[in-house]
Amino acid sequence: MKYRNYNETSSYKNLKIDCSKCFGFCCVALYFSTIDNFPQDKIAGQPCKNLKDDFTCKIHKDLSKKNLKGCINYDCFGAGQKVAQNIYKNVSWKNSQEKSQEMYDVFVVVKNLQEMIWYLCDSFTFAESEDLRKNINDMIIETEDLTNLCASNILKIDVEEHRTKVNYLLKEVRANVIKKINPKIKKDEPLGFDFIGKDLRNKDLIGANLAGALLIGSNLQHRDLSGAIVIGADMRDADIRGCNAENTMYLTQSQINSARGNSKTKLPLFINRPSHWEE
C-alpha cells in the first residue's frame, strides 16, 4: 500500500536545526534537570555551564559518552536560528540584556509554531485529495506568517487556539489514512498508553494509534509502523532496530534521536539518522 506522496522534501528545510546560526537558546531559555539526562539542574533563563561564549557547547562531541540524552534528544524544529537571524537580526541575548527574557519567550512560541508546521508538512505527504492538500498548504503559510511577525506580536499569539486549527487538519488526514488501511474501523481507538519496557514484537502495529503513548524502553524491533500515529509519544530508549518507520505519521526528529535504532531502521526521507545509532 502506498501511504505517502513524496513530491519533494524542501518544505522541511527550514524546520531543521542549524546551531551555527543560533544563540544557544535551548541551552539558556529552558529549564532542565539531571533527572532527564541534562548536564545540570537549572532554571529557565540561566545559561548551561557548558555553553561557550560563541554559543557552542564545550562537550558536544562527548554528549553520548556522558549519557546526556536530554541534549542529544532535543530538537527545536529550526526555531533557534529563525529567532536569532530573522526576528532579532543576529543580535544576541548577550548583546541585548534588556531583551533577553523577551527573546527566550519568543523562542518558546516560535518553537511551538515550527513544530506545528512540521506536523502539517508531514500530513501533506499523507493527504490525497486536492482540497485537503490546499487546506493544509494554506495552514502552513498561515503558521509560517505567524513566525515572521515582530517579537511583540509573536508574544500576543494564542498558541493553543492556533494549535486547535492545526489539529483539525491533522485529524482529518489521520482519519483518511485509517480508512485506507481498514475501511471497517469506525473509531481510531488508542492501542494503549503505558508501554514502558513492554515487548511489542508480536503486536500488529500497522495503523496503530500510539498518540501520546509511553513507549519508554519498549521493544519495537522489526515492527512495521506504517500508518501508525506517534504524535506526542515518548520514545526514549524505545528499541526500533530494524523497524519500518518510513511511513509513520507525525514522527519527529526528537523522537528518533531519543530511540535506539540501527542502519536497518527505515526512516522518512526528511528525518536524519542519528550519528549515535549503532550500525
- Same domain, yes or no, for 59 and 195? no
Same domain, yes or no, for 41 and 153?
yes
Which residue among 145, 180, 215 closes a domain? 180
Cell of 150: 515582530
In a domain, 275, yes or no: no
State which of 156, 180, 204 marks the end of a domain.
180
The verdict on 163 and 213 lying in the same domain is: no
Return the CATH number at 249. 2.160.20.80
Give the C-alpha separation, 52 to 62, whole Å: 15
Half-sphere exposure of 100 (CA within 13 A, CB side): 16
263: left (phi over 0), alpha (psi -120 to 50) or beta: alpha
* Residue 41 included in any domain: yes
Same domain, 39 and 153: yes
What three-state secondary structure class fits 219?
A: strand
pLDDT tens, the chain, 279 aa long: 677 876 656 778 899 999 999 999 999 999 999 999 999 999 999 999 999 999 999 999 899 889 999 999 999 999 999 999 999 999 999 998 899 999 999 999 999 999 999 999 999 999 999 999 999 999 999 999 999 999 999 999 999 999 999 999 999 999 999 999 887 776 788 889 999 999 999 999 999 999 999 999 999 999 999 999 999 999 999 999 999 999 999 999 999 999 999 999 999 999 999 988 877
Here the cell at position 6 is: 513524496
Does 230 lie in the same domain as 118?
Answer: no
What total of structural domains would you count in the chain?
A: 2
Same structural domain, 16 and 115: yes
Looking at the domain assignment, is residue 256 inside a domain? yes
* Residue 188 pLDDT: 82
In a shared domain, residues 176 and 195? no
Which of helix, strand or coil describes residue 189? coil
**Full residue range of the structural domain in which residue 236 is found:** 189-270
pLDDT in the model for residue 156: 98
Asked whether residue 5 is domain-assigned, the answer is: no
Of 148, 180, 212, which residue sits at a domain end? 180
Q: Could you tell me which residues are beta bridge partners of residue 214?
A: 194, 234
Judge whether 277 lies within some domain: no
Q: Is residue 139 part of a domain?
A: yes
Same domain for 80 and 44: yes
Do residues 201 and 158 share a domain?
Answer: no
Question: Angle between the 130-147 and 100-126 helix axes, to the nearest 10 degrees?
Answer: 170
The answer to the question of residue 233 being in a domain is yes
- pLDDT at position 196: 98
How far, in Å, CA of 25 to CA of 52, rounded?
12
Residues 66 and 155 in one domain: yes
What's the rounded Cα separation, in Å, for the pair 224 and 231? 17
| Shared-domain flag, residues 238 and 171 | no
- 3-state class of 229 per DSSP? strand
